[in-house]
Structure 1
Amino acid sequence: MKLKNSFVRQDSDDDNDLDEPVRSKIMTGYRFQLNDTLLEAQNSGALWVERLQLLCVSDLHLGKSDRLARSRGVLLPPYETMETLSRLADAITLFDPKIVVCLGDSFDDPLAENSLSETERDTLATLQAGREWIWIAGNHDPAPVSVAGQSKIAYSTSGLTFRHEATDNAFEISGHFHPKHKVPSGRLRPAFIHDTTRLIMPAFGLYTGGLPVKAPELQKWFPSGGIAVLCGGSRPLPVPF
Structure 2
Amino acid sequence: MTRTSFSFVLNGTHGLALASGALLVPSADLLCVADLHLGKAERAARRWGLLWPPYETRATLDRLAEVIAVAKPRVVVALGDSFDDLAAGEAMAQEDRDRLALLMQGRRWIWVAGNHDPGPAGHGGETVPEFRAEGLTFRHEAQPDADPGEVSGHYHPRFGLPGMGERRPCFLLDQRRLILPAFGAYTGGLDARDPALRSLMENQALAILTGRSALPCPLPPRRAAARRG
> What TM-score do the two structures reach when normalised by structure 2?
0.92
2:194 pairs with 1:215: yes
Return the alpha-carbon distance in structure 1 between the equivalents of residues 135 and 33 of structure 2: 19
2:6 pairs with 1:30: yes
2:175 pairs with 1:175: no
Q: Helix, strand or coil: the match of 1:41?
A: strand
Amino acid at match of 1:80: E
2:214 pairs with 1:236: yes
2:16 pairs with 1:40: yes
Match of 1:166 among 142, 165, 176: 142
Question: Cα distance, 1:223 vs. partner?
Answer: 4.1
Return the alpha-carbon distance in structure 2 between the equivalents of residues 188 and 155 of structure 1: 30
Task: Note the alpha carbon deviations across 1:57-110, whole angstroms, 9 max, x for none.
Answer: 000000000000000000000000001001000011001100000000000011
Amino acid at match of 2:45: A
Return the alpha-carbon distance in structure 2 between the equivalents of residues 63 and 149 of structure 1: 18
Question: Cα distance, 1:225 vs. partner?
Answer: 3.9
Amino acid at match of 2:34: S
Match of 2:162 in 1: 184
Question: Cα distance, 1:158 vs. partner?
Answer: 1.8
Match of 2:227 in 1: none
Return the alpha-carbon distance in structure 1 between the equivalents of residues 189 and 24 of structure 2: 22
Question: Cα distance, 1:32 vs. partner?
Answer: 0.5
Match of 1:101 in 2: 77
Return the alpha-carbon distance in structure 2 between the equivalents of residues 58 and 145 of structure 1: 15
Amino acid at match of 2:207: A
Question: Cα distance, 1:185 vs. partner?
Answer: 1.5
Task: Note the alpha carbon deviations across 1:185-231, whole angstroms, 9 max, x for none.
Answer: 12200000100110000000000000011101101111424100001
Match of 2:98 in 1: 122
Q: Helix, strand or coil: the match of 1:199?
A: strand
Where structure 1 has 5 or more consecutive residues not aligned to the other structure, the ranges are 1-10, 12-22
What is the number of equivalent residue pairs in this alignment?
216
Note if contact 2:159-2:191 (Cα within 8 Å) is conserved in structure 1.
yes
Match of 1:70 among 20, 25, 46: 46
Note if contact 2:159-2:168 (Cα within 8 Å) is conserved in structure 1.
yes
Moved over 3 A (4+): none
Q: Helix, strand or coil: the match of 1:134?
A: strand
RMSD: 1.1
Return the alpha-carbon distance in structure 2 between the equivalents of residues 34 and 61 of structure 1: 26
Where structure 2 has 5 or more consecutive residues not aligned to the other structure, the ranges are 220-229
Note if contact 2:111-2:121 (Cα within 8 Å) is conserved in structure 1.
no
Task: Note the alpha carbon deviations across 1:95-133, whole angstroms, 9 max, x for none.
Answer: 110000000000001100011111000000000001000
Return the alpha-carbon distance in structure 2 between the equivalents of residues 185 and 73 of structure 1: 37
Percent of pairs identical after alignment?
49
Match of 2:34 among 41, 54, 58: 58
Return the alpha-carbon distance in structure 1 between the equivalents of residues 30 and 91 of structure 2: 28
Question: Cα distance, 1:145 vs. partner?
Answer: 3.7
Question: Cα distance, 1:143 vs. partner?
Answer: 2.6
2:181 pairs with 1:202: yes
Note if contact 1:45-1:202 (Cα within 8 Å) is conserved in structure 2.
yes
Return the alpha-carbon distance in structure 2 between the equivalents of residues 48 and 145 of structure 1: 23
Note if contact 1:154-1:163 (Cα within 8 Å) is conserved in structure 2.
yes
